[in-house]
């Protein structure tokens, strides 16, 4: 049977180079590294492989729920796997996009039910997934208290839900807990990208 590898079409190569501002040679190099991490025949990384890579990146602070949250950033079509195009586009945004572009992608992991608003329950779940990474000795808050603090920082219209715009505004105002949480997510998303693309 042999060890066949999926190929990157000429058209896809050209589109990805234009979309990401990389040259075609860089896209080819990244593709070759990407297919080694997942299923080489399909050029995809499924959730289990993604979580395993995340565990390799953070052996002491790995938490499967957080790895699955980060996976949702990259799995743009919510089909349970990350293809090369998703990986490269999201990776380009996370590593070099504007704050607004990054936050738009990050909002998707807060908004678990994709209804356009982050509820208190969703916020509490996200904080619980990240809480072990936060040095909260200064604030001395529980995860529930931190989730409430985040809701207060972000919920500009006090309607009990956070919109994408409210998340962006809170981050741009440099609200303490919002900035802390978003930066932790960006750090994890960048780490997986670096790990996948390393030699």
Structural domain spans, the chain: 10-96, 99-188
**DSSP-derived secondary structure letter, 160:** S
pLDDT tens figures, 70-94: 999 999 999 999 999 999 999 999 9
Q: Do the first three CATH levels of 10-96 and 99-188 match, i.e. the same topology?
A: yes
Q: Which ranges in the chain belong to alpha helices (H)?
A: 10-20, 24-37, 47-57, 64-74, 84-96, 99-110, 120-130, 143-154, 164-172, 176-197
Alpha carbon distance 79, 60 (integer Å): 29
Q: Which pLDDT band holds residue 53 (cuts at 50, 70, 90)? A: very high
**Residue 25 pLDDT more than 80?**
yes
**Residue 3 pLDDT more than 60?**
no
CB proximity list for 55: less than 8 A, separation 6 or greater: 62, 67
pTM, to two decimals: 0.86
Name the strand (E) or helix (H) holding 83: strand 81-83
* pLDDT the model gives residue 1: 39
Q: Tell me the CATH number of domain 10-96, given options 3.20.20.80, 1.10.274.10, 3.30.420.40, 1.10.238.10.
A: 1.10.238.10
* pLDDT the model gives residue 136: 60
pLDDT tens figures, 87-124: 999 999 999 999 999 999 999 999 999 999 999 999 99
* pLDDT the model gives residue 81: 94
* pLDDT the model gives residue 12: 85
Average pLDDT of the chain is 89
Closest to 44 measured CA to CA, from 89, 18, 12, 80: 80
CATH architecture of 99-188: Orthogonal Bundle (1.10)
pLDDT tens figures, 148-195: 999 999 998 999 999 999 999 999 999 999 999 999 999 999 999 999
- The answer to whether the beta carbons of residues 75 and 82 sit under 8 Å apart is yes
Write the CA distances from 56 to 64, 80, 191, 196, integer angstroms: 12, 20, 10, 11
């Amino acid at each position: 049977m042999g060890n066949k590898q999926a190929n990157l079409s000429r058209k896809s190569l050209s589109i990805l180079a234009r979309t990401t501002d990389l040259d075609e040679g860089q896209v080819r190099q990244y593709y070759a590294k990407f297919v080694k991490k997942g299923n080489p025949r399909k050029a995809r990384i499924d959730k289990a492989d993604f979580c395993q890579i995340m565990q390799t990146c953070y052996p002491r602070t790995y938490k499967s729920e957080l790895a699955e949250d980060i996976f949702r950033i990259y799995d743009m079509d919510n089909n349970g796997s990350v293809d090369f195009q998703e990986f490269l586009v999201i990776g380009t945004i996370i590593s070099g996009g504007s704050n607004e572009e990054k936050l738009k992608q990050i909002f998707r992991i807060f908004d678990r039910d994709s209804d356009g608003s982050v509820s208190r329950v969703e916020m509490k779940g996200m904080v619980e997934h990240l809480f072990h990474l936060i040095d909260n000795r200064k604030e001395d808050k529980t995860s529930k208290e931190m989730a409430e603090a985040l809701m207060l920082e972000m919920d500009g219209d006090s309607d009990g839900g956070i919109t994408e715009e409210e998340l962006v505004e809170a981050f741009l105002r440099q609200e303490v807990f919002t900035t802390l949480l978003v930066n932790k997510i960006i750090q994890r998303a960048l780490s997986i990208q670096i790990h996948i693309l390393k030699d």
